Amino acid sequence: MKTALGSSRRFLLGSSRDAAEQIAAGIQDFVGLGRPFLADPSWPEKTELGREDEIVSCINCLHCFETLLQNAWLAKPIECSRNSLLGKETD
Ligand code: SF4
């Protein structure tokens, strides 16, 4: 029996190979990304193309959470210490 939902925390450090292997083995149907996707929106594409070494990994610094809370009051976007383009997509 598969786990209905598990933590994606295992993939925080960019272990996309693990995610792909678990999906291929039928252990999981999908992998949800939160912070790893903020750090590198190209995470899925790089994984699919076998370019895992190019993934910019989330370092679990929680700067995004800090700025999410602080910047909301200032109408400023979320920030990521690993992805300087986060929140500036429309600039
Ligand atoms: S700010 Fe830090 S914790 Fe948040 S996504 Fe970027 S690297 Fe990860």
CB of 33 within 6 A of ligand 1: the answer is no
Give pLDDT, residue 9.
Answer: 52
Ligand 1: atom nearest CA of 60 is 3
Q: How many residues does the chain have?
A: 91
Report how far ligand 1's centroid is from the alpha carbon of 40 (Å): 10
* 30-56: average pLDDT: 89
Give pLDDT, residue 12.
Answer: 46
Give pLDDT, residue 7.
Answer: 55
CA angle 32, 21, 39 (to 5 degrees): 40
* 3-30: average pLDDT: 67
Ligand 1: atom nearest CA of 57 is 7
Q: Whose CA is nearest to atom 6 of ligand 1?
A: 80
Q: Which two structure tokens, joined as six digits, stand for 70?
A: 């602080």
pLDDT band for 91, please (50, 70, 90 cuts).
Answer: confident
